[in-house]
Chain A
Amino acid sequence: MSGSSPQAVVERALELSRSSSCMVLVRERSTANLRWAGSSLTTNGVARNRTVTVIALTDGPSGTSVGVMARSGLRDDELEGLVRAAEAASESALPSEEAVPLLGPAEAGAGGDWDAPAAATGVDVFSAAATGLGRAFRASAESGRLHYGYAEHTVESVFLGTSTGVRLRHDQPTGTIEMNTRGSSADGTDPRSAWVGRATRDFTDVDPDALDAELARRAEWARTPVELPAGRYETVLPPTAVADMMVPMYFDSGARDASEGRSAFSDGEGGVRIGERIAGLPLTLLSDPARPGLECAPFVVADAPGRDVSAFDNGLPLRRTEWISKGVLSALGQTRATAARLGTPPAGFADNLVLEQEGAAGGTDDLVASTERGLLLTCLWYIRMVDPQTMLLTGLTRDGVYLIEDGRITGAVNNFRFNESPVGLLQRATEAGAPVPALSREMGDYFPRTEMPALRIPDFNMSTVSKAS
């Protein structure tokens, strides 16, 4: 992008606008990544880009129509073309059923310092972590464990301006590191692999040596392979695996689908299950933009409107929202328009998710210690919806299924395909630990900000054995 600051682009686009009303969003994004396989770096890169989205609204006799146009690689002198394209799209669009008056500065949420320059990152964010990784790579020959994995850091500044006077800005740092080790079969060690992953805001709290120590501990567990058949097992789901199941549930918890009889949160009679007890334990599922460590945008950023995200809600404050309160379904995500239709308060989806039980203590190791015989999973993979009515998901265990006997890990078990519903898991869970930051293996690329407890499931449904290792 040549020339103008993101703030100037917002102001200029709003000045150029000739439609009934207008919203402009600028995302200024920089990212750096390292990837490795076989204890050697493979692909690495840095990228910077700016995306400008103009949302033009045209009021007409039968309602308000919306035009959304996004461009990246836009020169300053092309901005007017983008505004006109959004206007043309809105003039030619059909009226939107989501139309509600745009928010003004008084109703909109609060953002960061509008005037500060956009934040950025670069490959040097990995300097300290890379030293630790190098140590682990060099120790591969001795440890018999080859390293595979990925580290990414992205910083995005988003600027939202509307013709009703809203000016909101949010800076979002997002980092993840995933480390996977596999036995090098050449030296005869067990080929089974282990995985650890975590989210971070700036990599200053990432300690590759500690992560590698955890991988080494699991490699020890894997020295004794155990073959087990499919079936229902008492299972300790660590926080990472709980995140794997809770994130898809969150993505599928819109009020609109539920009210149309299209989800597991429909009551089957044209209503929704709000007020119904859906978890056996007094678990609370919530989103909170101010949650320490999981901070995310405290207002709606809707540059890609869809079923549960409305362009008209841009700037809407996102506050702490309990989706499940002490085991009872208490809210479903919805836009202001859907909320008005259903007569319940709007509830925007914030970019983090927490599952917790008041007073619950202890972690995965404690749940393992109090298990007579059961399985400990690491994470779940290739999770797909089988039946939306029950929210039945299928998927596989990955990179570490361990046998627990008399409170101790006694070996590594083959992988399984499971068929389970997150709603069913909440119903049947018999014990929860304290919530800790947890990166979902499957969804962490898109949704890294989660805090989850370990859960005990008395009868997790392992549908078939998978030979994968």
Chain B
Amino acid sequence: MPDIDPDFLALPLRELADAALGRAAELGAEHADFRLERIRDRTLAVSDGAVETAAEGDALGFAVRVVHRGVWGFASADALTPDAAARTAERAVAVAEVAAPLATDRVELAPEPVHADRTWVSSYEEDPFEVSMRAQAALLSGWCRRLMEDGRVDHVDASLLQAKEQKFYADTAGTSTTQQRVRIAPEVEVVANRNGLLDSMRTLSPPAGRGWEYLPTVEAELAGLPALLDEKLRAPSVEPGRYDLVVDPSQLWLTIHESIGHATELDRALGYEAAYAGTSFATPDRLGELRYGAPSMHVTGDRTAEHGLATIGFDDEGVATSSFDLVRDGVLTGYQRDRRISAAQGLRSSNGCAFADSPGHMPIQRMANVSLAADPTGPDTEGLISGVEDGVYVVGDRSWSIDMQRYNFQFTGQRFYRIRGGRLDGMLRDVAYQASTTEFWNSMAAVGGPASYVLGGTFRCGKGQPGQVAAVSHGCPSAVFTDVRVLNTAQEAGK
């Protein structure tokens, strides 16, 4: 396993933390924490072989968060001097002073054992920032040119996103942690316009908490893309109606993200996101009682899965991460929480879901890796398909949308196959499926086995005001859902 980069460790981490936390304590803050982060990111976008974007960002800064007079105060800055750290602590306290008259709820934090001088590094082999941008651009460009030679393809877009997060956290209770993680998201899409129809086909390899060693996984998909796109453009348009669906993990991860991941965020369920990201139908009064889905549905939240995008050792409030139940035997049994909402609910500890996407932002409750367990003795995807008489097999994610209480969703995908008599019978075009969360999960008739399990995910989950972006993974097997509404998107557009 890699070590934390020495240049990060050489920064005056403790000196700044001591200056900030000391000043906050002098000013009477009940709690203070200090978080210094360096976040590197690289974006490469290549279209038809030409480089459209090749950019790198490198952000370094720190934040001081206090609980003072029972309310939050937060300030951040980017000058790494003890004096600036102390001034930033003063600004955080001043923000709390302004806020105090308008706050009626006192901020209390759930207790957490002290974790002193702990370090954690994510699981990857080759740091992608050690590979030159030229080598990366040349690789993507070569992929594009190879695909452009195929007459079935008009355009090719290839992109590569990568990030490295390094963070140092210290608080007035005595916890201090130093952590580093790396993530990467390569993607290739081919596009063609035939007989007035425009369509595209994209690779399915998900973004992952891995290094440069991940690239061959995507490359292996490239050769198949032109034929898949060609088949999609020739496929019949779907007849709208109700179908049984076999949903591949390459699509199901996103349905889990939207209809379970966000719905089991306790801050949403309590109304803290009511004006923006929304609330949840899965309210705390229904904990232990709400029948979320079929008895075969077991969902956990975790920040510990190897290569998971939300995986880390300690969260942004110094809480050690873990794995916990959200839905067990189809019943709602838990929530994702941070220290404040845990305390507000009378719970003895947080389950480690606080995260801030930059030193300029305050940590809020963000998503753990929320994953659907495979059936230990379940079949592979082919086995699931063989049990469906009349249905549609959905592969890959494309467009998604869900309401602010997480009931009504609509998803499209990369490819759709008609299932007849337990076998695939060609592709379909223009498919979207629409359902209501608990109806959909209660219609889950079969869950795939470990052979079909994939850890999917995204770099770009948005939440909060000011807006914050987080990366998160979702593991799941393929699964069968019965009697789901399928729309024809061409008809919806009045085409």
Contact = CB atoms under 8 A, between A and B. Distances in A.
Contacts of B138: 94
11 contacts: A31-B466, A45-B362, A74-B60, A130-B98, A182-B274, A193-B274, A262-B155, A392-B493, A394-B432, A424-B493, A464-B485
A223 interface: no
A396 B408 contact: yes
B53 A305 contact: yes
Contacts of A41: 71, 99, 102-103
A152 interface: yes
A417 B493 contact: no
Contacts of A94: 50-51, 134, 137-138, 141
A8 interface: no
Contacts of B271: 37-38, 148, 182
Of residues B74, B91, B401, which shows the largest number of chain A Cβ atoms within 10 Å of its Cβ? B401
B196 interface: yes
Residue from A72, A130, A398 with most neighbouring chain B CB atoms (10 Å): A72
A121 interface: no
A349 to B, nearest CB: 16
A459 to B, nearest CB: 9
A7 interface: no
A261 B275 contact: no
A49 B76 contact: yes
B287 interface: no
A89 to B, nearest CB: 6
Nearest to A181: B275
A461 interface: yes
A398 B74 CA distance: 31
A305 B104 CA distance: 45
A66 B57 CA distance: 15
What 8 pairs between A and B have smallest CB-CB spacing? Answer: A73-B60, A92-B134, A45-B74, A468-B405, A148-B275, A73-B78, A180-B275, A468-B403
What secondary structure prevails in chain A residues at the interface with B?
strand
Contacts of B193: 261-262, 266, 268
Nearest to A389: B198
Nearest to B105: A40
B102 A464 contact: no
Given A180-B274, A419-B492, A93 B54 contact: yes
Interface residues of A, number: 94
A398 B95 contact: no
B151 interface: no
A107 B63 CA distance: 42
Interface in A414-469: 415, 417, 419, 421, 424, 445, 461, 463-469
Given A48-B76, A72-B60, A137-B102, 15 more contacts: A2-B81, A36-B102, A39-B104, A45-B74, A68-B53, A68-B54, A85-B56, A89-B133, A94-B138, A150-B275, A193-B274, A307-B47, A419-B492, A467-B403, A468-B408
B372 interface: no
Contact of A44 (B73, B101, B133, B196): B73
B114 interface: no
Interface string B190-208: 0101001110000000000
Interface string B54-66: 1111111101000
B61 to A, nearest CB: 5
B401 A395 contact: yes
A112 to B, nearest CB: 24
Nearest to B40: A71
A66 B465 CA distance: 34
A123 interface: yes
Given A93-B51, A383-B401, A468 B278 contact: yes
Contacts of B399: 384-386, 394
A75 interface: yes
Interface string A301-314: 00011110000000
B272 A49 contact: no
Nearest to B276: A150
A378 B155 CA distance: 39
A70 interface: yes
A1 B95 contact: no
Contacts of B98: 44, 123-124, 126, 130
Residue of A36, A47, A179, A268 with most chain B CB atoms under a 10 A cut-off: A47
A204 interface: no
A67 interface: yes
Contacts of A306: 45, 52-53
B305 to A, nearest CB: 27
Contacts of B95: 44-46, 123
A74 B79 CA distance: 8
A466 B57 CA distance: 40
B407 A47 contact: no
Most buried by A among B271, B272, B404: B404
B235 interface: no
A307 B50 CA distance: 11
A31 to B, nearest CB: 7
Contacts of A266: 193, 198
A40 B308 CA distance: 35
B102 A262 contact: no
Contacts of B430: 387
Contacts of A220: none
B434 interface: yes
B493 A421 contact: yes
Nearest to A140: B104
A80 interface: no
In this complex, the member of A2, A37, A42 whose beta carbon has the largest number of chain B beta carbons within 10 angstroms is A42
Contacts of B81: 2
A419 B489 contact: yes
Interface in B256-303: 271-276, 278, 281
Interface in B470-495: 485, 487, 489-490, 492-495
B465 A152 contact: yes
B275 A149 contact: yes
A40 B494 contact: no
B412 interface: yes
A357 interface: no
A456 B47 CA distance: 40
B31 to A, nearest CB: 14
A70 B58 contact: yes
A387 B275 contact: no
A68 B79 contact: no
A260 interface: yes
Contacts of A1: 78-79
A111 B56 CA distance: 27
Contacts of B133: 67, 89, 92-93
B376 interface: no
B77 interface: yes
Interface in A49-72: 49-51, 66-72
B45 A307 contact: yes
Contact of A387 (B60, B91, B485, B493): B493
A34 interface: yes
A307 B99 CA distance: 42
A176 to B, nearest CB: 9
Given A134-B101, A394-B401, A467-B436, A72 B78 contact: yes
A201 interface: no
B148 interface: no
Contact of B104 (A40, A47, A50, A464): A40
B126 interface: no
Contacts of A419: 410, 487, 489, 492-493
Given A385-B399, A390-B493, A463-B487, A73 B154 contact: no
Contacts of A461: 492, 494
A195 interface: yes
A92 B404 contact: no
Interface string A72-102: 1111000000000100010011101100000
